[in-house]
Every structure is written in C-alpha cells, then in structure tokens.
A and B are shown apart, each in its own frame.
Chain A
Amino acid sequence: MMRFSRSLLAATALAAALVSIAPATGAELVIGRPASPATFDPGFLKEAATLVDNVFDTLVLRDAEMKLVPGLALSWKALDDTTWEIKLRPGIKFHNGEAFDAEAVKFTFERVLDPAAKSPTISYIRTVAGVDVVDPLTVRIRTNGPDPLLPTRLSRYPAYIVPPAYVKQVGAAEFARRPVGTGPYKVTEFVPDDHVTMVANEAYWRGKATIDKVVWRPIPEATARIAALLSGEVQFIESVPAELVDTLKTSGAADVVDVKNGGLTIYLGLKSAEKPLDDARVRRALSLAIDRKGLTTDILKGKATPTGTQVSPFDAGYKDIPTPAYDPAAAKKLLAEAGYPNGFTIRFQAPRRYISSAEVAQAVVQQWAAIGVKAELEVPEWSVYAQQVPAGKQAPIYMLAWGSTQTLDADAALYAILKSGEPYSTVADKALDALLDESRKTIAPDARAAIFAKIQDHAAETVPLITLYREDSLYGKAKSVTFGGRPDARIPVYDIRVVK
C-alpha cells in the first residue's frame, strides 16, 4: 500500500511539474545512482563495478556491440587447452606515472587469487592457476583445465589491472580510497555516501575523454533521483522505476533509455527434489498456468519481455525458445495426470526486490488458484531471503532473478542455477548435469553453442525452474546527453557525449 501511494503521488506531482532542464555545461556530467560505492579496489568489490570501470582498464574490452576487443592486451590466443598467451599494449602508464607491464598483470591476479586475501570475487577467476611473465609485454595465463570463458573473464572485475608499486606502497585500504588505474578517468574526490568526483585522464591511451569532469551522486530514493534529473541537478540517472517511466517521458524535460533485455531474468525456483515438484508434469502445469504476457503488460507496464529461456539474446549460446503458452486447461489436465486433480497447497516466497515483484507474485498466486493450486505467498525481507536461498532454506517455490550481464555468456545464465549442488540451484537432473559439465570442457564456440541449445531445449521440456520474463534496464537522461544503454549494464562515461 505504501508503495502504491508513493508512486501515485510521484506520478501526479511529477506530471504537474512541467519543467525545462537547465542546459548541461558540455564538459561536465553529474550522474545519480541508487548507491554509493564502498570501495574502489577492483579486486575486492562487493557491488557492481560501474564506477571502477571508468577508472581501470581490463586486458580485454567489450565494445558497444558487446564484442570482445583488445584493451590493455593487444592480442590473446590459446597455446593449448590450458595456456593462453597474451601480448600487452606497450607505452601505457597508470595515473601516477607507473608503467603498465607483465608484472602488473601477474600482481593483479595473484593478489585476488591469494587465499589469505579472502577476496569476495575470487570465483570469477577461479579457473586461473597462475600467471607467468614471459617478457615485459607478454604473459601466459595457465588454467586448471580448459576454460572457454577465459577472454571473457579478462574483460570484467576482478580483472581490472592495478599498479603493483602503488598498491604495495600505500596498502590495500588506502588504495581502495585513492585508486590509481590506467582508465579514462582519475578519481579526485571520494566521499562515501556523498559523492565521487573524477576528471579525465589527459594521457589516456584511447585519447582523452570528451567529458572533462564526472560527479557521481548516490540518490537512494527513486522519486528524488527523478526530481534531481528533471531539475537539472543531475543529467543522468540509473534505475528508473517502471511505474515512473511514463511520467519521465511526458515531462518533456528528459528521455528514458530503455534497454530491452538489459536486466535480470526473473524466474521461479522449484525444489524439484521434493513432492509434488519432483514430477515434471506438475512443474509444466505450474508453468502453463502463468500468463506471462499479462504480467509484463499489466503489472510491469511493458518494461519486461516474456521469455522461455534463462539465456539472454545478448549471450553467447542463446537459443530462441518460445515463451510457454498460457493454457490453464492443459495445466489442469497435467495436474490430474500427475495425481493432483484437486491441486495442492504449497509455500511460495517472493521478495520485494525486482520490478513490482511482490505484485507479480500475487498475480501468479491467483493464476495458480485457477488450476486448484493454493500457493501460500510470503514476501520476505531481502537481506534475510538473500542468505536463505543459497543456504537452501527457502520455500519450495521461490522467486529469484539471475543475470549474465557481466559475462554475456549462457554459462553465467545457466550453470549456477541448474547444476546440482551449486548454492543457488535446487535442481537435481543428471542429464542436465552431464550437459553442463560438457559445456565447461568445450572450447570450440560452435560445439559450445550446440550444447547450450540442448540444455535450453531440455529445460523447456522438463521445467527445472519456471522462467517468467526478462526485465528491461532503464536509465533517465537529460536531452543533451547521448547514451544508448548497454546490455552489460556498464556506464562508460568515455562513450557518453553532452551536446549543447
């Protein structure tokens, strides 16, 4: 109720406030995000790497089309199944003048891989067995077994290259506050929970950025964030709530950047080892009874796309699986075949975390009621729920979102939630396990894609979890700002332009 009244208020008041934006100053950009970063150390992040991404570089970059392109590496190639040779870009310097070379790469990986460092992001590079310096501009990365995703791992945190001499000199704590990278922007001020100021790195290897100064302001409350955009205090905001999109559009003062399929994929996890969810007919029935199109149109106001697979169209290995039909009659029949002609009662948890997620869950409860399934809905507090799920203490049916935005590969979208024994998986399907194992051993892209296609077909058939829809990611920007939005959710200020 509180949520409803608040958005209604915001919508009416914002609609009333017909305003024009102050002209942006060309060389400056103020960005409003829901949260402030806690640290700038890219090896030890517990949050999205949005800001870090503008300060540091990775060996491999993703261009606007999401293709992997050379970054601090000039080239990379697999020498054999477990060794990659990487040639480094010469003449690059960190913001403090320190030279970038093979030692920096080795240092970057080893400080995260060191068990004593307790890095929270170690799992992203856990396949790396070691880094060998061949010469100052060549490194070899050894992996524990074949790893087709190594170049992708080199394109994201924690693989942002850090300056060894500086980190050793000032220590990790100081480095996290006063970061030094090779990236397009230098951090000049970092006041946690208040603002971060960055200025363009004059000596950037891709050329100096066109925006001289960027200020990042945390604005936790969505309505305040939108008001700040409309009043011209900020020119760009992250996370526009779906219910405020139309208000923003009709204000005439700002634009909405709607990245279709740019967000997380919402699904209903099923404890498929327990009765009655151990029967594939029951799982299929629950899936058929849900009107996905109705959910995305009526509740999410079109800011999500119904889908039949957890894999995003931007991911390597995506197969276009049709969205499951909405067919309550067929669902009822399947339930009867499975021995539940009168349905059953089951617990269902859905956090108030994703776009209108609690409302969606209520709608699903009603749709299930139509086939006789009585779902007892609980809306848990997120921080409690978020640790119940990986501990296996959640309800038999639970709503969760999964994304592959940082990796853009089917592996990230599937493995952790389908492979038996993984913390976030409640699936136990030997056929799926075999296919998932095979996918991690296969390097040739075509062969991998074929395996992922099989996995997605198998999942569509046996419904190990109920895929619902994929959220859009929504940004707001002043009309003077050009930004198309990226499927990997990064905000590279280097590529943003401010026109007068």
Chain B
Amino acid sequence: MRLAAFLAHRLALALVVLVGVSLVVFLCLFLTGDPAALMLPPDATRDEIQRFRAAMGFDDPWVVQYLRWIGRIVLDGDFGTSLRFGRPVGELIRERLPATALLAVVALAWSTAVGFVLGTIAAVRRGGFVDFLVRAIALSGQAIPVFWLGLLLILFVSLRLRWLPTGGYGEARHLVLPAIALGAYYMSAVTRLVRASLIEALDQDYVRTARAKGLSEWRVVVRHALRNALIPVVTVQAMYFASLLGGALVTEIVFAWPGIGRLAVQAIQNRDFPLAQSIVLLAAAVFVVTNLLVDILYVVLNPRIRL
C-alpha cells in the first residue's frame, strides 16, 4: 500500500514536470517568433506571409496555440505535422529512434564496461602510477569536447588509416567511431564514479571483516565492495541513457548519423515548431520515466531505503 502511494505521488510529480517542460519549450519557441517568413521564399510579399501565417494558425494567441498542441497529443496521441517535412511528427521520430537507440546502447555498453574495469583497477591501486594514468584518461575523456574528438577520429582513423568510414549509417563499421566519440565522456564519468565509490566501500567495516576472514583480495573487491559501490553508478547510468536518447546532438551531426539529435537540431534551425517541441517533450518524458524507474529500482535493490 505504501508502494502504491509512493508511486502515485511520483507519477503526479512526473506529470507536473512534463506540463512544465511543455510550457517552457512552447514559450521559448513562441517568444522568438514564428516560422512563416522562413518557410516562404524570400520574395514572398507581406500579404502572402500574413495569409500563410493565418492559414497555419500562427497568429492565434499563445494560449490557444499551446492548448491546441497539447490537446491533440493528449486526446488523439497526435504530435502534429512537421512544417518542414510535411509529415506526422510521430512518424519522423519513430523513423529516427532506432538509430539513436542503437548508438546510445552501444556507447553506453562499452563505456560502462571499460569504465568499470578502469575504475576498479584505479581504486585497488589507489595512489599508484596506474591510478594516476587512469585518472588522467578519465579527466581528458570528460574534458575533450565531443566534436573535437569526433573530428580527430575521422581525420586519423578514416582519412589517415582508412580503417573506417567518415560517417553514414547501416553497417557495423559505421557505428564504431560515433560510439567511441559518444561513449568517451561516459566512460570517463563511470571510471571516476566507480573509483570513488569503490574507494569509499573499501574503507568500510564489512570489507575489513571480509579481509579478516581471509578472503582473497579479488573476492573482497568484487563480491563485497563493488556490489555496494553499484548503487550510485546505476543511478548515473540511467540518467546517462536518458540523456543519450534525448539526442546525441553533436555526435550525430559530426558523423552524419540519422538519429533524433540531428532531427532536433534541424527542427530548431528551421523553427519547425511541432517537431522541435515534440522531441524536447519526448526527451523530458524519457528522463522523467527513467527517474521513476530508478526510484523504484532503489527500493528493490536497497532495503535500507524505506518508504
């Protein structure tokens, strides 16, 4: 019963967040002007622009436009029609989602695996040269902007070595470079997080007890300390995944990856209201839902968290 109340409370909060996000997104685009002039050719007259604006409903008050947009989503599941593509927004997003999901999953998978290994090694060898090296890698990984890393990969791996294509989509070889570029940041973040929480765990009493029992160091680290160091990592991973699905904007542009991120950038550049709003709303929804799931997962994973 307490779980049900907890869930209802979280759901209500999630709803408030979504409404807030939708309002902010809508107003941000609305306040900076409508796309009528951008959609018509430069030699259109003021009358033609005005007629077009009226026909598209751009001259209605913002409340009317907002309610019309939200109303269609809630009542019909209709996200509207993209102004630039002239096609349903839902269809466009569905088309691009697999590419972004694939990139996100692969980037997250390798960055998590490598991050765990590096973080664990660094924690165990705390203060040593290996630790220094890992920390240097992790720091650079988080400091290097993704567009710069992406271009470097293109110039050296694609152009100099000719190992992989500069961009595109469809085969495994197209996936490697964008996944590396996108995952580098998360790999570094995971490394640092695993290192920090493992170091903390290794100082706990139960680890001393485990060692005192005469367990091998490997068993102490993996079975006892690492398991407890997992919780903050899980939270952060979930957040990363949500943010990745929201769009790996820069990576997708550098590598010409046909995903949601590129769609979002185009939508914003073209002031494609229905498309831009829906993508941001979707990204927010993914965040909110992921957060909710993490909260629930916590309760399951960690009996110390009481409702």
Contact = CB atoms under 8 A, between A and B. Distances in A.
Interface of A: 5-6, 9-10, 13-14, 16-17, 19, 35, 38-39, 44, 46, 115, 118, 120-124, 126, 173, 176, 191-195, 217-221, 223-224, 227-228, 230-231, 233, 382-384, 386-391, 393, 402, 412, 415-416, 421-424
Interface stretch (B71-79, B144-152, B290-298): B144-152
Interface in B142-184: 147-148, 150-152, 154-156, 158-160, 162, 165-170
Contacts of B268: 383
Contacts of B156: 13
14 contacts: A46-B270, A121-B41, A123-B43, A217-B256, A218-B256, A221-B253, A227-B159, A228-B166, A231-B162, A233-B166, A383-B270, A391-B33, A423-B49, A424-B42
Contacts, number: 155
B181 to A, nearest CB: 11
A39 B85 contact: yes
Contacts of A193: 96, 258, 262-263, 266
A223 B154 contact: yes
Given A219-B167, A227-B159, A124 B269 contact: no
Nearest to A220: B253
Contacts of A16: 160
For this complex, into which size category does the number of interface residues on chain B fall? 35 or more
A224 B253 CA distance: 10
A192 B37 contact: no
Interface in B106-154: 147-148, 150-152, 154
Interface string B41-82: 111111011011001100000000000000000000000000
Interface in B174-208: none
A290 B258 CA distance: 43
B40 interface: yes
Contacts of B92: 192
Contacts of B168: 194-195, 217, 233
B35 interface: yes
Given A10-B151, A194-B169, A220-B262, A423 B37 contact: yes
Contacts of A402: 42
Given A123-B41, A124-B41, A387 B271 contact: yes
Contacts of A9: 148, 151-152
B286 interface: no
> 3 nearest interchain CB pairs?
A193-B258, A390-B37, A387-B33
Contacts of B56: 118
Contacts of B35: 387
Given A227-B159, A233-B165, 16 more contacts: A9-B148, A13-B151, A13-B155, A115-B51, A176-B86, A191-B258, A219-B166, A221-B253, A224-B151, A224-B167, A228-B167, A231-B158, A387-B32, A387-B34, A391-B37, A421-B46
Contacts of A124: 41, 43
Nearest to A14: B155
Given A173-B87, A193-B263, A387-B37, A17 B169 contact: no
B287 interface: no
Contact of A46 (B84, B169, B263): B84
A220 B52 CA distance: 30
Nearest to A407: B43
B38 interface: yes
Given A17-B155, A233-B165, A383-B268, A192 B85 contact: yes
A386 B158 CA distance: 36
Contacts of A14: 155, 159
Contacts of B40: 120, 123
B226 interface: no
